[in-house]
Structure 1
């Protein structure tokens, strides 16, 4: 009887050892698989990291690029009207087009203020059609052309509302030019907006 009990105990111990070893092998295999998957994901993220200049070079090199007009045909007419108006009325001014708002509107420097970061990120990547600057580089007027391509995306009105608010809070006048406005009317609108801006500056 004692031998039987001893044999049963030995058999149970061997069975437990085998099951435990198999379980450990399964766990080890699962861990190895997870490690391989983690390594593949890490390598994928590294190879597709857009912040890495080497990846940027590779991505560009892998594709064909071509030059396209930076301003659509409708907006070109407005561009030349602004250029002509500046030469006649404000010869010391200059202008640029498709300018990111983060380049000329800043929030107060407060590294720990998340509100400032959220505000900046809300408008910084949005672009204005035309930015007019004075001889010192200060922004004096933003011109938005609401042509046929203005509402191509469903959120155009919402994005425009963000631009308006950011410009308003920064104290930069905004002139919105509707589709098909003629050059004389563009000249008049630019002059009127400029006079209003100068008057507001004088009155403080």
Structure 2
């Protein structure tokens, strides 16, 4: 009898331990399921974030491509969408200077020619060319986009005289004095004479200044 009781008790306690182990296993499995569900939610959220990031990148790429002014097709599209009109390349005041220069050329150097609004990078280059020299690149970039009002060249195309007209609209921007100083320095370093004509100067004054500078 005692033996039977002992055997029965052993089964009972083993059953209790088995039930406890099963309960713990169920709890562990439930915890794993909750953790897996949480990870799945995080993965979905990360996918959403990545999808939005990629969509943003694609949108910015499309915007850049559609607004890239270096693209010829975009240039044609932009011009086709805008209303354009012809304007005077020189203002009314500067026209007087232009004709005074033209008169001086006809009387003194008939084989010379004149251009106006000329980019300085078109007629001034660095003495040496080295694409890896940052100083040369920086120097060229400093004056390249700046323009002179008038440029006189000889029959061989050599720059002979630069003319700046300081009319009423010359100093409208705050950086005008600094830009003019850069022009003076670049022209001086290139050995090109410069005449700076004051506002509303009479034709006789303009002709005298040109003659004095080139004497």
State the TM-score bracket (shorter-chain normalisation): over 0.9
Does residue 130 (structure 1) correspond to residue 138 (structure 2)? The answer is: no
Question: Partner residue of 2:6?
Answer: none
Q: Answer yes or no: is 1:103 the counterpart of 2:103.
A: no
Runs of 4+ in 1 over 3 A off after TM superposition: none
In 1: Cα distance, 2:180 partner to 2:61 partner: 39
Residue 79 of structure 2 aligns to a residue whose secondary structure is helix
Stretches of structure 1 that go unaligned for 5 or more consecutive residues are 196-204
The number of residue pairs the alignment matches comes to 195
After superposition, give the CA deviation of every residue in 1:46-66 in whole Å (9 maximum; x if it has no partner): 010010011000001001000
Give the superposition deviation at 1:125: 0.4
- The answer to whether structure 1 residue 147 and structure 2 residue 173 are counterparts is no
For normalisation by structure 1, the TM-score amounts to 0.94
Residue of structure 1 aligned with 2:139, choices 97, 114, 119: 119
CA distance in 2, matches of 1:32, 1:180: 64
Matched, 1:162 2:182: yes
Q: What is the RMSD computed on CA atoms of the aligned residues?
A: 0.7
- SS class of match (1:141): strand
Residue of structure 2 in register with 1:200 after alignment: none
Per the TM alignment, residue 115 of structure 1 is displaced from its structure 2 partner at its CA by 1.2
Q: Tell me what 1:12 maps to.
A: 31
Find the residue that maps to 1:149 and give its secondary structure: coil
**Alpha-carbon deviations, 1:83-108, whole Å to 9, x = none?**
00000001111110000001001122
Shift of 1:194: 1.0
Q: Normalised by the size of structure 2, how large is the TM-score?
A: 0.89
| Counterpart residue number, 2:9 | none
1:12 and 1:115 map into 2 onto residues whose CA distance is: 67
Secondary structure of 1:154's partner?
coil
> Which residue is equivalent to 1:45?
64
**Consecutive unaligned residues in structure 2, runs of 5 or more:** 1-19
Q: CA–CA distance in 2 between the matches of 1:145 and 1:127?
A: 12
SS in 1 for 2:208: helix
